[in-house]
Amino acid sequence: MTPRASARQASIDVLRAVAIALMVVVHFVENLSGWYADATIVFAGVHQVWWLPTGFAAPTFTFLTGVSYRLWVGVLERRGLGQEAIAKGTVRRGLFLVGLGFAFNVLIWLPEDVFNWDILTLIGFGLLVLEFARRMPDGVVLFAAVLVVAVAPTLREVAGYSEYWTEGYYDYDFTVSDVALGWLVTGYFPVFPWLAFPLVGYAAAPALLRQTNQPPPVEQAGSPPAPTLGVGYLAAAAILAAAILILIWPRLPTWVTGHTAEAWAMFPATTAYVLGTIGGISLVLAALHRALDGDVPRCRELVAWATPLSRHALSIYILHHAVHVWPLWAWGLATTGDPSALWQVAMPPWASLSLAVLFLAAVAMFCRWADTASLPTAESLMRWICE
């Protein structure tokens, strides 16, 4: 779901492949088995089922959008491409993903959910914002990300976030105000606070990875690189801040909590959740960079399987929804007359988890074959339109 650079980073490919695998597992289990058999067992939240990895894939994807964009711009600048050409390419990709996001919502989630503001529209808008952010100092970009996170709880309180989630999912009216509020605050992946992930990923990329427009820093023997060490401190500080927020959450004012009962929640994305995931992703990516990236290839088999999954993450995102949601709608319509009748109650969790594993095994082989056979994919369509 990110711009393509000429020189791939194994660390990014592995982390994105892990994220898409987590997303497939979560979506299969939640959409097919979320309320199966027992209405007291809910798979839709990270607090309900310990083994379901809910809440980690989306932050990873959006964070890596910023990191990958930073590398992509660096590659184009070293090739001598002008700023206007880079801007046009960025805007085309951003608009492509926003348009694809709306089409995805209509085709997968049916027309009534066209404005649910899913992750594709967020990433597309994030690229448009990054076109402006790349002209600013990294400190300004990080400050903007802090503001986005800081004002989000207050905006949710003012917008009446809970009124749009009375049934446990986002529900809105087709009015200008509801659509605008969904994009900014109340949807699944609204600008506040989710825009912080690509902004931080972009600004932190030089510290997380050594591929930047500047020469790499001089390292002292026996010590970690200075930028990686610095980002480690910042990531640890973010995780510590998240932990403190979790401990004192009940005593915090509503402008910090937004009346959200749980300190760690994805819907809405609480401040502790945003800080904790940003810190965790930063540490994991920095560690993977040190372990996998370099002139000498490492863990070749792992990277060989992860790279196709990462390269075709956009296609997998679309395909895995179609594979399990379309049959759900079709069977519900055929048996009850209501296409959503079987949503979250179609089968027991072990069955949906098994289907997710089978899908991942099949798509891993398919992606390698697609590269060999040069098959058309969502990524190739984006390149054909945007380049």
**For the whole model, what pTM was predicted?**
0.90
Q: Is residue 248 part of a domain?
A: yes
Q: Are 20 and 306 in contact (CB under 8 A)?
A: no
Q: Give me the sign of the Cα torsion angle 59, 64, 67, 69.
A: negative
Q: Is residue 5 part of a domain?
A: no
> Which conformational region is residue 270 in: left (phi greater than 0), alpha (psi within -120 to 50 degrees), or beta?
beta
Q: Is residue 202 part of a domain?
A: yes
Q: Is residue 158 part of a domain?
A: yes
Q: Say which amino acid occupies 371.
A: D
**Inter-helix orientation angle 226-248/271-292, to 10°:** 150
Alpha carbon of residue 265 to chain centroid: 15
CB atoms within 10 A of CB 81: 13
Residue 372 has a pLDDT of 84
Q: Which two tokens stand for residue 382?
A: 């984006």
- Number of separate domains in the chain: 1
Residue 317 has a pLDDT of 97
Q: Is residue 41 part of a domain?
A: yes
Alpha carbon of residue 64 to chain centroid: 8
Q: Are 115 and 182 in contact (CB under 8 A)?
A: yes
Q: Which two tokens stand for residue 357?
A: 């594993």
CB atoms within 10 A of CB 40: 7
Q: Are 95 and 67 in contact (CB under 8 A)?
A: no
Q: Is residue 3 part of a domain?
A: no
Q: Is residue 14 part of a domain?
A: yes
In sequence order, what are the residues at sequence separation of 6 or more whose Cβ sits closer than 8 angstroms to the Cβ of residue 100? 120, 124, 378
Burial of 171 by CB count in 10 Å (0-12 exposed, 13-18 middle, 19+ buried)? middle
CA angle 139, 206, 233 (to 5 degrees): 70
Mark the ranges of the chain whose per-residue pLDDT is less than 50.
2, 4-6, 39, 42-47, 211-228
Rounded Cα distance between 219 and 227, Å, is: 10
Question: Could you tell me the residue range of the domain that residue 353 belongs to?
Answer: 10-212+224-386
Rounded Cα distance between 387 and 384, Å, is: 6
Q: Is residue 170 part of a domain?
A: yes
